[in-house]
Structure 1
Amino acid sequence: MLIDNRAHVIDWAWPTQGAAFIDSHVLAIRLMQAGHTAEQAVNWVSRVPSWRKAPRTALVAFSAASVRSWREIAQADPQPWKVAMAGHAAELKAYFLMKSD
């Protein structure tokens, strides 16, 4: 965490540059890991302006990439939490697909 006039949560394990909504997407999956449904997680991250401004197609595309990434991680090292994360990512993607109809 970095703290100045605001607190910033930084994932140093995967430092990358990308669309601002990606952090919220990753947080949504972590909220699901903590027991929230996909709908609850999306409702929570919808408070973030970059999430609200993100095109639906970008959210769906990143969801698909996230599913592939977590499945690859779980396949390489099938610890239960990694397998669960792959499931949460897939559930979030399914939620977006259902909601984008």
Structure 2
Amino acid sequence: MIVAIAVAGYMLMERFNIVDALYMTVITLSTVGLMEVAELSPGGRIFTIVVILTGVSTLGYAAASFVEYLVGGHLVARGSAVAPSPTPPTSPRRPADVAFPG
């Protein structure tokens, strides 16, 4: 969705054709920063800043979600799901609560 919005933005603001707009979007979002297609207007520069910040923020959010997924115990290990360990009881069992054979 970010790519589509950025391509449309470059096409509308800078009058780029679709290939040039896509190229600008890819080099901006990937933070490669290769040669620009053409000199950007001040509005185009601000738009580029917004595209960069949006892309970096989205990548950061995705990375944080992935780490949370890993740490949360949602991985599949050796063919079986690893479940989070159950919480211990709040109070220890008293000897009278334990049934002994006999």
TM-score by length of 2: 0.30
> Greater helix percent: which structure?
1
Q: Which has the higher contact order (CA 8 A, sep 6+)?
A: 1
TM-score by length of 1: 0.31
- The structure whose Rg is larger is 2
